Structures are given as C-alpha cells and as structure tokens.
Homo-oligomer: A and B are copies of this chain.
Amino acid sequence: MPALPSDERLPLYQRLRDALARHISENRWKAGEAIPTEAVLAADYDLSIGTVRKAIDMLVSERILERQQGRGTFIRRAQFQDSLFRFFRFQTAEGERRIPQSQVLAVDVLPAPAEAAKALQLPDGEPVIHLSRLRLIDGQPVLAEDIWLPKGPFEAILGKDLNQEGPLLYPLYEEFCGQVIASADETLTAEPADERSAGLLGIAAHSPVVLIERLARGYAGQPLEWRRSRGHAQHFRYSVEIR
C-alpha cells in the first residue's frame, strides 16, 4: 500500500490528486491508457471510494483525466480535435477557423531579450530558443510570429525539422519535450507594421497590424512560451467567450 507523500495537513483527496498528477507527469501511465479503477485505488491507498472519486473529479475538471462509464478512467490524450481551437482565436475574414499552415523560417538560440526574459520569468540574458514562423492560409501569409522558449525544458526541439511536422506547436512541445500547455494570457494591441513584418506579411510598411502577445503556461502556472503574432488589421478576426 503506497503512502501518500506531500503535506499531511492537506485533505486526503488533494494529496491523492497530487500523487496521481505526479504519476501522470512522470509517464507512469501513458496518454490514452486507463488508470487503476476507483476500487483498486481506494484499496491501494486505504481510502474510501468517495475520497478517491473526489481526487479524480479534480483531475477530470483539469482535463487531465477522462471518465468513461463502464470502461474506466483514462489519461486524456492531448486530443488534436479538441485542443485544436482552444488556443486558436484568430479567424479568417469570413469567420472561418481553418488551421493555417506553418512555415518555420528560423530557429536559433540566443540570450533572452529583456521583454522575453521578463515574460518567461528568466534572468536577463538566460539562453532561450527563438522561432521565427509564418502562418499561411491558401499560401497567403496571415500571421508573422516570434516565439521564445526557455532553453532547458525545450532543448529537444532543436534537433527536429519543424517543417516536417504538423502546423501546431503545442502537440510537438508535448511529444518532444513533455511540456503541456494548460492556459494562456493574450493581450491584443494595434500598431503600424515595421518593415520586417510588412515584408513577411506582404503588406505596405506602416499599414496597421494587430499584435497578439501570448504567454502560455503549464499546469503549475509556470510560463513556458512567450509569443508575439502580427497580422494585417484588415483580415483580422478574433473571438472569445467570457464566463
């Protein structure tokens, strides 16, 4: 019978949740697999079923686990279909939400610029990975992106040819680096296009662009990616639901 680690003053369901979350993040069970049944967990940890259910409820509401009545409780696969649009709010002028193609222009390692260091909560000048990337719809550029990642956790993507992969980075972060994006803060502003962005987007310099700054975080709230996307204001459309 494994003992629950972690602070004894916390409720048992919280401690069980933490223990299960750690097992999952250490890949004790793989995505798509079932975890042990509620009855087995209750017996193993010497808890009542109700307490086990409460711990699992938490992980389900965090979208880490998924229940299927009669079958079991499963590690949630970072589902392409599901997560696809969760972080994608930029639409075509017609309101369509097609995933734009991705073209990675450059990958380099450099000392973190001040703004990136601040966003990622790194010491100034700490090495970061910088991606320059273009998003296209029907071959037309719609977004020019600069992406900064802390080098340590994301080192594994340096060896990959990102243009051989799908158009979304977050599944790659998970597959290659074991880093899961759980939430993000975005701020939108408008500015005149600088020459580099104008060139990439194929628009006149100084014409208005929308700038989307995104800080993406992991399950523990730690900053994992800082991103700046610029798109032509004319073709800009962004949707959000406020609850």
Q: Does A26 contact B (CB under 8 A)?
A: no
For A87, give the chain B residue with the smallest CB separation.
B242
Interface residues in chain A, defined as those with a beta carbon under 8 Å from any beta carbon in chain B: 50, 63, 86-87, 89, 95, 182-190, 208, 210, 233-234, 236-243
State the Cβ distance, A187 to closest chain B Cβ, in Å.
5
Chain A binding surface SS class: strand
Docked CA distance A183–B240 (Å): 11
Interface pair A234/B190, CB less than 8 Å apart: yes
Interface pair A188/B237, CB less than 8 Å apart: yes
For A50, give the chain B residue with the smallest CB separation.
B50
Docked CA distance A50–B240 (Å): 36
Q: Determine the chain B residues whose CB is within 8 A of the CB of A183 once the complex forms.
A: 241-243
Interface pair B242/A189, CB less than 8 Å apart: no
State the Cβ distance, A94 to closest chain B Cβ, in Å.
11
Picked from B50, B208, B242, the residue with its CB within 8 Å of the CB of A208 is B208
Q: Determine the chain B residues whose CB is within 8 A of the CB of A187 once the complex forms.
A: 95, 237-240
Interface pair B190/A233, CB less than 8 Å apart: yes
Picked from B95, B182, B208, B240, the residue with its CB within 8 Å of the CB of A240 is B240
State the Cβ distance, A58 to closest chain B Cβ, in Å.
12
Picked from B185, B233, B239, B243, the residue with its CB within 8 Å of the CB of A233 is B233
Q: Determine the chain B residues whose CB is within 8 A of the CB of A233 once the complex forms.
A: 190, 208, 233
Interface pair B237/A184, CB less than 8 Å apart: no
Interface pair A186/B240, CB less than 8 Å apart: yes
